[in-house]
Amino acid sequence: MQVVFTGGRTQPGTTKPDEGERHPYSIIDCEPTREVILPSVIYIQKILRRRPFLIKNLENVMRRFLQSLELFEENERKKLAIFTALAFSQKLSGLPPETVFQPLLKDNLVSKGIVLSFITDFFKVYLVDNSLDDLISILKRGKMEENLLEFFPSAKRSAEGFSEHFTKEGLIPLVEYNEKKIFEVKLKEMKSALTTQIAEEVDISEVIDTVKQRVKDAKLPDIEIVRILWDVLMDAVQWSGKNQQQNANSALRQVKTWAQLLNTFCTSGKLELELVYKVQMQCYEDAKLMKLFPEIVRSLYDQDVLAEDTILHWFRKGTNPKGRQTFVKALEPFVKWLEEAEEEE
């Protein structure tokens, strides 16, 4: 297999001299473009179909070359990256992702930026014919999806460094994917911390401080905070099967206990409306809570979490259709009371 890569047999970092006629499919000798290198990939694919016993040989050659990247010229490393990307793109048998990614993680290769350059060329070529989901699938199989920063020299090993590098290289979808992943991790961590505090009945002022600190550190948007708070509070409720009254009492008790927490972060009509939508979705998705919608909204109003304008806006112009017709009808008596009180004032 090494003959196809170099046109002849190799010794560390070079080809052996005086080997006679060179092989026509030499990846190292050709131009560093996907169009020129693709025939070599197809050629190897045909060989492996006829001689599957060579699959292990291909794997060993790739591992040896990748562990020795620093011994190749920059242009040669680019050709190897293009070949590797095309090999995965063509689903070349005998090339497990871990065979490619794990040998790259040698400290000396990473610290010199050789690995980052290689993997960038790999990503760019692979994504010409494949989707980002396909790339993520390969990274997962190679046990690298969670560890992409390991390709970076230590000085650049940060979320900012990741975004800056791949944005510059035109790989915006990969940057967006990574930022979304980081964001989801931060949300998960915050939800976990709040779940623990609420289960332990920590003082409400301490919980508020925790939320504020995490919002500041992780730059989480207000709308996500409202969603998380409601989910965490309702997850902590001890629901009692089909007993509607007990469920209602438990939910309303939770709202009353933690109203100050909700109030602290529902700081605008938009955020209050988002909270109503969260209540709507929960009651729609959980049959045992379907009839609790008007009681929960009323309780949130009584605790000054929801303003009258917010409730009336949802009632008249709400945009989420799930269960809306049922909930609007259920809320009619309360809305009528609000409107009459408004007229009296």
CATH number at residue 281: 1.25.40.180
| Digitized pLDDT (tens) for each residue of the chain, 345 residues in all | 455 665 444 444 444 444 445 455 577 778 888 898 898 888 888 888 888 888 888 888 888 889 989 998 999 999 999 999 999 998 876 678 888 888 899 999 999 999 999 999 999 999 999 999 999 999 999 999 888 999 999 999 999 999 999 999 999 999 999 999 999 999 999 999 999 999 998 999 999 999 999 888 888 899 999 999 999 999 998 887 677 788 888 889 999 999 999 999 999 999 999 999 999 999 999 888 888 999 999 999 999 999 999 999 999 999 999 999 999 999 999 999 998 876 666
Cα distance between residue 2 and residue 106, in whole Å: 22
The count of structural domains within the chain is 2
Cα distance between residue 206 and residue 217, in whole Å: 16
Pair 244, 105 in one domain: no
Residue given tokens 């297999």 in the structure block: 1
Query: Which of residues 146, 168, 194 is at a domain's end?
Result: 146
Cα distance between residue 302 and residue 157, in whole Å: 50
- R_g of the chain, CA atoms, integer Å: 30
Contact between residue 247 and residue 239 where contact means Cβ atoms under 8 Å apart: yes
Q: Which domain holds residue 197?
A: 180-344
What is the pLDDT at residue 8? 47
Q: Within 10 A of 49 (CB to CB), how many other CB atoms are there? A: 9
Give counts: helices (H), strands (E), the chain: 18, 2
Pair 197, 338 in one domain: yes
Pair 212, 328 in one domain: yes
For 29, list phi and psi in degrees, rounded to 5. -90, -15
Polymer length of the chain: 345
Pair 207, 317 in one domain: yes
Helix (H) or strand (E) holding 10: strand 10-11
Residue 171 covered by a domain: no
Pair 250, 130 in one domain: no
Cα distance between residue 207 and residue 261, in whole Å: 8
Residue 117 covered by a domain: yes
Residue given tokens 């920063």 in the structure block: 149
Pair 95, 185 in one domain: no
Pair 200, 129 in one domain: no
Both tokens of 114, joined, read 């050789």
Residue 327 covered by a domain: yes
Residue 63 covered by a domain: yes
Cα distance between residue 242 and residue 234, in whole Å: 16
Pair 129, 190 in one domain: no
Cα distance between residue 219 and residue 225, in whole Å: 11
Contact between residue 4 and residue 23 where contact means Cβ atoms under 8 Å apart: yes
- Give the amino acid at 268: S
Pair 234, 129 in one domain: no
Residue 199 covered by a domain: yes
Residue 55 covered by a domain: yes
For 4, list phi and psi in degrees, rounded to 5. -70, -30
Cα distance between residue 332 and residue 179, in whole Å: 43
Closest CA to 278 of 220, 339, 223, 207: 223
Pair 134, 193 in one domain: no
The model carries a pTM of: 0.74
Contact between residue 306 and residue 226 where contact means Cβ atoms under 8 Å apart: no
Strand 14-15 versus strand 10-11 pairing type = antiparallel
Residue given tokens 């026509």 in the structure block: 24
What is the pLDDT at residue 189? 92
Contact between residue 3 and residue 23 where contact means Cβ atoms under 8 Å apart: yes
Burial string for 12-33 (b: 16+ CB within 10 Å, else e) reads eeebeeeeeeebebbbbbbebe
Pair 137, 216 in one domain: no
- Residues in a beta bridge with 15: 10
Both tokens of 48, joined, read 């492996």
- Residues in a beta bridge with 11: 14
Pair 228, 128 in one domain: no
What is the pLDDT at residue 151? 95
